[in-house]
Amino acid sequence: MDLSRFPRRRYTGFDTPLEFLPRFTEALAATCPAGKAPRIWIKRDDMLGLFPGGNKTRKLEFLVADALAQGADTLVTCGAPQSNHCRITLAAAVKEGLKCRFVIEERVPDSYDEQASGNNFMFRLLGVEAITVVPGGSNMAAEMQKVAEEVARAGRKAYIIPGGGSNAIGGLGYVSCAQELQQQMFEQGVRIDRLVVGSGSSGTHGGLVAGFLGNNIRIPITGIGVSRDPADQQPLVLKEAQAVLDLLGVAVRVKPEDVECVGGYWQPKYSVPNQRMVEAVQMLARTEGIPLDPVYTGKIMAGLIGLARDGFFRGDENVLFLHTGGLPSLHAYEREVLGEKKDLPA
């Protein structure tokens, strides 16, 4: 799969580490039936460029390059109040000398606080040009188009990036990740039996599915939903993966069995903490010193832990967890992740 014909900006000068988690594996095994758990590995995409890193960086390498090729001077994107995607898009804009505007969707009513910590602090520190807040369920494409038209009236040119950077161009970032991982496994002599990834706006999950299929990487991918259960999530990922393959001109059709989604770990709502997330964040932090965030990676790791306890994985498997970042939002949920709020849903 040739990515060289697409314009690309480089924001990370190294391959993100592929590491075994011995102490976490031991702690997980102690909570599993018969004391058996798979060997857990991690790929540290939280260490990608555009500090403090995260999966959106890979997508933005292609998206921002496309924006520059089209002569844009302003990036317009959208997300939830503590959006990692918005923060990294803003960081890319700063690095490229562009302006940046957000549309923030209040999926939980009255949840946006301009003065909040976490990513909201980063928005202000990095100098976002303008933020428009809209109610949950708004047509985000239409709302971003309004912002783009406002930019145009000021004599400038906007480039709209969809939520999560999830379109065919953004998905190229995780085709690149699939190729990087394939080379790392070869060089390190590592066998991975299954990859566990978060599944939200679908760009990361769909890009990986496309990359694995197109590069003949025969490793199952399990997507842990962070905002939807499988009946709603699986079609989105399938569509994204196919769009990426079509963009690349690869004559492969994505089949439903190529896209595995797991639900049940994101409730009661997107971005609302639960007890399983708290356990997952604390377990990885206190065994390996690696922080997760409460909105995405904490719930994804909770899914991995739950599947291990339910016997979903074989005891001799090497399971790879893709850490997609999100560190700043951790600081907006400090009491929750420290276990100081006792009324969280299970």
- List residues with catalytic annotation: 83
Using alpha carbons, select from 341, 4, 343, 344 the residue that is nearest to residue 172. 4
Strand boundaries in 56-164, DSSP class E: 74-79, 99-106, 130-135, 158-160
- H-helix or E-strand containing 20? strand 18-20
8 Å CB contact between 76 and 98:
no
**Contact status, residue 299 vs residue 263, Cβ threshold 8 Å:** no
Residue 104: strand pairing partners: 79, 133
Using DSSP bridges, classify how beta strands 194-199 and 99-106 pair: parallel, antiparallel or unpaired. Answer: unpaired
3-state secondary structure of 226: coil
Contact, 221 vs 232, CB < 8 A? no
**Rg value, the chain, Cα:** 19
Instruction: State the DSSP code for 241.
Output: H
Is residue 172 a contact partner of residue 166, using CB atoms and an 8 Å limit? no
DSSP state of 268: S
In this structure, the number of other CB atoms found within 10 A of the CB of residue 216 comes to 8
Find the helix or strand (DSSP H, E) in which 113 lies. none
Distances (CA, A) of 185 to 101, 171, 182, 218: 39, 21, 5, 13
